[in-house]
Structure 1
Amino acid sequence: MFTRLLIKGEKVITRQKVVHVVSDSVGETAELVVKAVASQFNGGHVEINRHSFIESTQDIDEAINSVDELNSLIAYTLVIPELKEYLDRRSAEKGIFSVDLLSPLLHVFEDFFKQEAKHQPKLIRRMDEAYFKKIEAIEFSVKYDDGKDPRGLKWADLVLIGVSRTSKTPLAMYLAHHGYRVANVPIVPEVAPPKEIFEIPRSKCVGLTISPEKLNEVRKERLKSMGLNAESNYASMERIFEELDYADRIMKRIGCPIIDVSNKAIEETANLIIHTLKRGRGL
């Protein structure tokens, strides 16, 4: 079984059984259905010719004119009623078998959801684009997590900064699942922040802060989970005050908005960040 894309207007004369897939999108869905059905006959040996992005009656005429009436049938996925009706009429005039792969299920869905279908082509492609945008955002946020390669900050939609255990990474991953490319940078007194953080627009930078008491509690739990001494300098109040004070100075130098995450769930903080981001860009 193989697929051949047609040049518009080409006439196919062959004794091989051919299924012409006609679609207002790429035609992948219809082709998969045809292959699944064809596998039940003659070992699945059928030629498939795909006619993609059908948008007008002229496109349908070109597809019809390329069909060998004696050895072909048309399987189509057209959501615009006028084009579907035109294809049905033209194929009937030429004596070509044609089958509508969408309408039966579409009508069932209309009854099930108690609403009419949108009848807009290429919607699934838009869904695919949103999916791939999310995957790209997740990969970006992993790549530029925890200050990895600060050169990537200029490509981020959003940069989160804050001391350790202010939920920078969980927030970055959550926002990435909503399509935002997020980088995050830890603020540590002994390490100067990357110069790139002062070069990006402050409207796409958000500082995260937390109460000293809450941070002390979180860090002690973190040390315990790792089997370490909960009384180490990492969780001491003196160290925490030092880090928070240093981070506050950096955030004020940048001029970015600051969000206190002390008693907020990840979802709540993320919504605040999105609101802050949109407001900073005048959206």
Structure 2
Amino acid sequence: MKQKEAVYVISDSVGETAEFVVKAVATQFNGGSVDIRRNSYVEDAEDIEDVIILARQNNRSIIAYTLVVPELKRYLDRRAAEEGILAIDLLQPLMKAFEQKFEKAPNQQPGLMRKLDDEYFRKIEAIEFAVKYDDGRDPRGIIRSDIVLIGVSRTSKTPLSMYLAHQRYKVANVPLVPEVKPPEELFNVPRNKCVGLVISPDKLNEIRRERLKALGLTSQANYASFERILEELDYAEKIMKRVGCPVINVSNKAVEETASLILDILKKERSHT
């Protein structure tokens, strides 16, 4: 009976990269009917030997591997040559090119791709969190967040939430409006987790007037009036004092600058607890 084509994938990490490459190549040959058998987290010669035994029993098999630990790679190359098994290093040609062209040495550390993936998914999770708990939509986010931002409208709460989310912080923000009672959860937030955002009345008036203009509304609306602005800022200050959180004036600061200040302040607060 004719043996089926098989590719044994060996990796000192998950092996997803190697399997993906093998599948991409296999699709070019009769629709990719090759049998792919992944062997993840290979850590020693014994793990490699298990695959060598299986591949030796099928003369229509190949070993494709992504091993970055030199000792494991050398062992696999030697044993495959001894057994007459074709073993392909999927990383070496490109790693060699990187090394020569960029004049850098590889880390030779397994699992780095998985760490990058984990970082990526944490960032996506934080972004989704910031969207879900933006503008006080759900007070449950206050308890679940890494950082809580509070302030009146147009103090950059949403842009700051998104910027910090890209740095993998889960951020909830809560608008402070005199007519709306803040959620009770806000007063249970630890001091080292919440930051109040304030702004000068002149700057806020300017921003709100521009906002109204962009919306096609008259700049004389109550939203941009000095009387209303002073009322909101006074109310916000009282709430921030009650919460007991540190406060940042965002009047002439870029989002990046304010975000850096937030992280510095919270780091100091947490180091004192």
Helix, strand or coil at the partner of 1:161:
strand
Cα RMSD over matched residues?
Answer: 1.3
How many residues are aligned here?
Answer: 271
How far the C-alpha of 1:36 sits from its partner, in A, is 2.1
* Ranges in structure 1 where 5+ consecutive residues have no aligned partner: 1-12
Shift of 1:42: 3.4
1:120 is matched with: 109
Encode CA deviations 1:141-185: one digit per residue, 9 max, x unaligned: 111000111122111000000001101001101110110000000
Is contact 1:69-1:95 (8 Å) kept? no
Query: Among residues 244, 252, 262, which one is paired with 1:273 in the alignment?
Result: 262
**1:41, distance to aligned residue in structure 2 (A):** 2.6
Instruction: Report the TM-score when normalising by structure 2.
Output: 0.96
Q: Which residue identity does 2:6 align to in structure 1?
A: V
The counterpart of 1:182, out of the listed 171, 188, 200, is 171
CA shift, 1:38, in A, is 2.2
Question: 1:48 matched to which residue of 2?
Answer: 36
Deviation (angstroms), 1:14: 6.7
Pick closer, same or farther for the CA change 1:36–1:258 going to 2, 3 Å: same
Task: Note the C-alpha offset of 1:44.
Answer: 2.5
- CA–CA distance in 1 between the matches of 2:10 and 2:110? 13
Aligned residue number for residue 9 of structure 1: none
The equivalent position to 2:191 in structure 1, one of 168, 181, 202, is 202
Instruction: Report whether the alignment pairs 1:235 with 2:224.
Output: yes
Is the Cα–Cα contact under 8 Å of residues 3 and 58 in structure 2 kept in the other structure? no
Counterpart of 1:63 in structure 2 is 51
Tell me the equivalent position of 1:4: none
What displacement does 1:25 show? 1.3
Amino acid at match of 1:187: L
1:138 pairs with one of 127, 135, 153: 127
Does residue 98 (structure 1) correspond to residue 98 (structure 2)? The answer is no
Instruction: Tell me if the contact between 2:136 and 2:172 (Cα under 8 Å) persists in the aligned partners.
Output: yes
What amino acid does structure 1 have at the position aligned with 2:127? Answer: I
| Mapping for residues 67-82 of structure 1, pairs under 5 Å | 67=55, 68-82=57-71
**Other structure's SS at 1:281 match:** helix
TM-score for the superposition, normalised by structure 1: 0.93
Aligned AA for 2:28?
Q
Structure-2 change in CA distance of 1:113 and 1:29 (3 Å): same
